[in-house]
């Protein structure tokens, strides 16, 4: 007889021997040695392909007490064998039947620990396979538990989510379709696993207005919050062509439904500022929990207000400005992240809230809330620092949308804030263009706008018509701002008659000359001398920047070459800056030449 077959028969014989010995013992007389022998013999049978014999032993009614106490020891080798066999393998089906029998016969408490241990020990590519294999058995065991059910459910969900969290979330359409690690499928399986416990909480809530099963509800709420942070915060949740049922959209819908069923969706969306009592004595742990909660709530708001999950259950009583205020903290959380998936969610949420509002309807008092200022500054950082082009462009569009929603005083306040904090010439130039547009509206409307005329405007121009470092300012670095400022100044002296002086610019010309044009002229002369020297030293293969051309044009009279209008006005205005203190027609002549 072949050696392998002999060893297998010995393994089956050993199993039968330990079974026969234990059949005559009382349950209380089982020793540790008996457990070990049973585990070793059962493992050998599984590994050597004798699952059928093992199944017969387990199904034998005479062995019921033995299996009840010792069967859970077979979970580890059983899981290994199931994962090793191919789907169509008959031996795999036998192993699955053994697992089902163990779930029916074993002590629920012992089996629960055995199943949880297998989930904890799995890693790498087998994480999702192992979890999906054990979810149904684990659910059955948990439903049997009488004591500490809420704790056990919470422990199970926490263990599962902890194992899933290190896995990369499929983001592109191809990745979602391939689902190499099985994460998409696994996440939805976990939701199905949780449903009986959700139903239990809902049933208890229907019996009494005060739910007496708060522990189980709290554990399920923790699971929902973890799911919002992972995988939903990272996942691509837009509908994708060619994918009939987007797995993460389905998962998101299920999480929202759980929160709705437990009556927690509205409190989480609108009452998040009422912080829960912290369970941590360690400040570091408390900070981590607060950050995780902020991420989850931000994702929740995105799901509700952008993807519209659960939105039909919301009462139509909230004003658009209130919704914006509620979401600004979430928008701030998302815009501070650097990952594309989270940044895009923050921009989408901000845009969605703004599009609900009418132009010129947002009161300036909202800028007194810290989040409104922080978000505007974060938006500028995305515009200027984000390496992803389409997000930079979108952030610029949203900044304009944000500006448009404020009434005049709000726009005025926001402009001052952006000029003081952006530290970016391109952004400052963009803000100055917006200021010019508001001045134009003020001068052409039937009624005056006090915020963009008179002393308020002059105060704002003090921030605009200014070189940050005087004559030493890097003119190339600040070219966008300088050209926008000169264009604004040109517009003011052309559009506003000296006799009307609605803007007040005519009374401020001397100060503008002293603080802006004169230092700019000095700076240009310095740049002219510097670049003329460089050009002299590098006559071949030189590349002159657009602002150097502006400097040279001021002295070289390159009238035959086409240049942007803004550059032309710099040349004209700076060559004639000394004329700004004479009569109006002289100034206009110099600016319009």
Q: How far is CA 410 from the centre of its chain?
A: 28
d(CA 586, CA 492): 15
| Residue 584 domain-assigned (yes or no) | yes
DSSP codes, 398-420: HHHHHHHHB-HHHHHHHHHHHHH
d(CA 410, CA 405): 9
d(CA 507, CA 453): 12
Expressed as residue numbers, the domain containing 574 is 450-593
Q: Is the dihedral of CA 346, 352, 356, 359 positive or negative?
A: positive
List b or e across 46-78, with b for residues whose CB sees 16 or more CB atoms inside 10 angstroms: bebebbebbbebbeeeebeebbbbbbbbbbebb
Lowest mean pLDDT among 85-99, 360-374, 571-585: 571-585
Plot region of 51 (φ>0 → left; ψ -120 to 50 → alpha; else → beta) = alpha
Lowest mean pLDDT among 33-42, 87-96, 357-366, 560-569: 560-569
Cα within 13 Å of Cα(350), Cβ side: 33
3-class state of residue 362 by DSSP: strand
| Residue 22 domain-assigned (yes or no) | no
d(CA 131, CA 120): 10
Place of tokens 């039937």: 446
**Average pLDDT of span 436-444:** 92
Place of tokens 């659910």: 139
| Residue 12 domain-assigned (yes or no) | no
Q: What share of the chain is helix, strand, coil (3-state, %, to 5)?
A: 75, 0, 25
Q: Does the pLDDT of residue 367 top 60, yes or no?
A: yes
CA distances from 574 to 458, 513, 577 (A): 21, 10, 5
d(CA 74, CA 392): 56
pLDDT tens-place string over residues 489-543: 999 999 988 888 889 999 999 899 999 988 888 888 887 777 777 777 765 444 4
pLDDT tens-place string over residues 188-236: 999 999 999 999 999 998 887 655 568 999 999 999 999 999 999 999 9
Q: What is the total count of domains within the chain?
A: 1
Q: What pLDDT is stored for residue 16 in this prediction?
A: 80
3-class state of residue 24 by DSSP: coil
d(CA 514, CA 492): 17
| Residue 132 domain-assigned (yes or no) | no
d(CA 460, CA 452): 8
Q: Does the pLDDT of residue 473 top 90, yes or no?
A: no
CA angle 499, 514, 422 (to 5 degrees): 100
Largest CA distance in the chain: 120
d(CA 546, CA 342): 37
Extract the tokens encoding 436.
């010019």
How many Cβ atoms from other residues are within 10 Å of residue 336's Cβ? 16
CA distances from 572 to 461, 472, 489 (A): 21, 21, 12
**Average pLDDT of span 259-282:** 72
Residue 6: pLDDT band (50, 70, 90) is: very low
| Residue 405 domain-assigned (yes or no) | no
- What is the rounded (10 degree) CA torsion for 45, 47, 51, 56? 20
Between 241 and 351, the more confident residue is 351
Nearest to 402 by CA among 428, 429, 372: 372
d(CA 68, CA 102): 8
| Residue 533 domain-assigned (yes or no) | yes
**Average pLDDT of span 234-252:** 93
Extract the tokens encoding 497.
């008659």
- Counting runs of H as helices and runs of E as strands, what totals does the chain give? 28, 0
d(CA 272, CA 289): 14
Extract the tokens encoding 544.
């002159």
| Residue 88 domain-assigned (yes or no) | no
d(CA 49, CA 52): 8
Backbone phi, psi, residue 431, to 5° = -65, -40
Place of tokens 């035959």: 560
| Residue 577 domain-assigned (yes or no) | yes
pLDDT tens-place string over residues 149-196: 999 999 999 999 999 999 999 999 999 999 999 999 999 999 999 999
Nearest to 314 by CA among 265, 268, 348: 265
| Contact criterion met (CB below 8 Å) for 101 and 58 | yes
3-class state of residue 422 by DSSP: coil
How many Cβ atoms from other residues are within 10 Å of residue 14's Cβ? 17
- pTM, two decimals, is 0.85
């Amino acid at each position: 007889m072949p050696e392998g077959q002999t060893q297998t028969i010995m393994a089956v014989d050993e199993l039968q021997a330990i079974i026969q010995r234990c059949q005559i013992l009382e349950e209380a007389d089982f020793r540790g040695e008996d457990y070990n022998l049973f585990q070793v013999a059962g493992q050998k049978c599984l590994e050597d392909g004798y699952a059928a014999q093992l199944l017969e032993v387990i199904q034998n009614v005479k062995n019921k007490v033995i299996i009840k106490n010792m069967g859970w020891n077979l979970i580890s080798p059983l899981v290994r064998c199931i994962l090793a066999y191919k789907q169509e393998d008959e031996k795999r089906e036998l192993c699955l039947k053994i697992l089902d029998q163990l779930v029916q016969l074993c002590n629920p408490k012992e089996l629960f620990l055995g199943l949880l241990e297998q989930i904890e020990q799995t890693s790498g590519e087998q994480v999702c396979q192992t979890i999906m294999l054990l979810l149904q058995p684990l659910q059955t065991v948990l439903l049997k538990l009488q004591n500490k059910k809420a704790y056990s459910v919470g422990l199970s969900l926490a263990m599962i989510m902890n194992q899933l969290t290190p896995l990369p979330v499929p983001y592109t359409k191809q990745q979602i379709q391939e689902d190499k690690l099985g994460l998409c499928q696994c996440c939805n399986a976990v939701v199905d696993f949780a449903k009986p416990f959700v139903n239990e909480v809902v049933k208890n809530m229907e019996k009494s207005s005060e739910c007496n099963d708060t522990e189980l509800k709290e554990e399920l709420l923790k699971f929902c919050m973890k799911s919002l942070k992972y995988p939903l915060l990272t996942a691509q949740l837009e509908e994708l062509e060619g994918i009939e049922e987007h797995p993460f959209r389905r998962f998101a819908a299920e999480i929202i439904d759980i929160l709705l069923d437990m009556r927690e969706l509205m409190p989480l969306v609108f009452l998040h500022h009422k912080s829960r009592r912290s369970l941590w004595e360690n400040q570091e742990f408390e900070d981590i929990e607060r950050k995780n909660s902020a991420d989850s709530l931000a994702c929740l708001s995105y799901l509700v207000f952008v993807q519209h999950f659960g939105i039909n259950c919301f009462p139509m009583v909230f004003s658009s400005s209130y919704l914006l205020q509620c979401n600004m903290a979430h928008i701030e959380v998302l815009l501070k992240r650097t990952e594309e998936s989270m940044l895009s969610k923050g921009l989408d949420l901000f845009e969605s809230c703004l599009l609900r509002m009418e132009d010129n309807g947002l009161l300036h008092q909202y800028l007194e809330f810290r989040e409104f200022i922080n978000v505007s500054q974060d938006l500028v950082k995305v515009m200027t620092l984000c390496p992803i082009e389409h997000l930079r462009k979108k952030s610029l569009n949203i900044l304009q949308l944000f500006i448009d929603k404020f009434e005049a005083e709000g726009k005025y306040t926001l402009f001052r804030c952006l000029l003081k904090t952006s530290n970016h010439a391109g952004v400052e130039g963009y803000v100055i263009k917006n200021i010019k547009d508001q001045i134009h509206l003020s001068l052409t409307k039937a009624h005056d706008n006090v915020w963009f005329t008179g002393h308020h405007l002059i105060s704002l121009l003090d921030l605009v018509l200014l070189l940050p470092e005087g004559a030493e300012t890097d003119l190339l670095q600040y070219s966008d701002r300088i050209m926008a400022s000169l264009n604004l100044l040109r517009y003011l002296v052309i559009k506003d008659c000296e006799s009307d002086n609605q803007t007040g610019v005519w009374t401020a010309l001397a100060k503008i000359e002293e603080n802006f044009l004169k230092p700019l002229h000095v700076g240009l002369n310095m740049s002219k001398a510097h670049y003329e020297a460089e050009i002299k030293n590098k006559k071949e293969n030189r590349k002159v920047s657009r602002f150097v051309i502006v400097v040279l044009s001021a002295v070289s009279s390159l009238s035959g070459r086409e240049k942007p209008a803004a550059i032309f006005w710099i040349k004209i205005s700076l060559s004639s800056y000394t004329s700004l203190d004479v009569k109006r027609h002289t100034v206009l002549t110099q600016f319009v030449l």
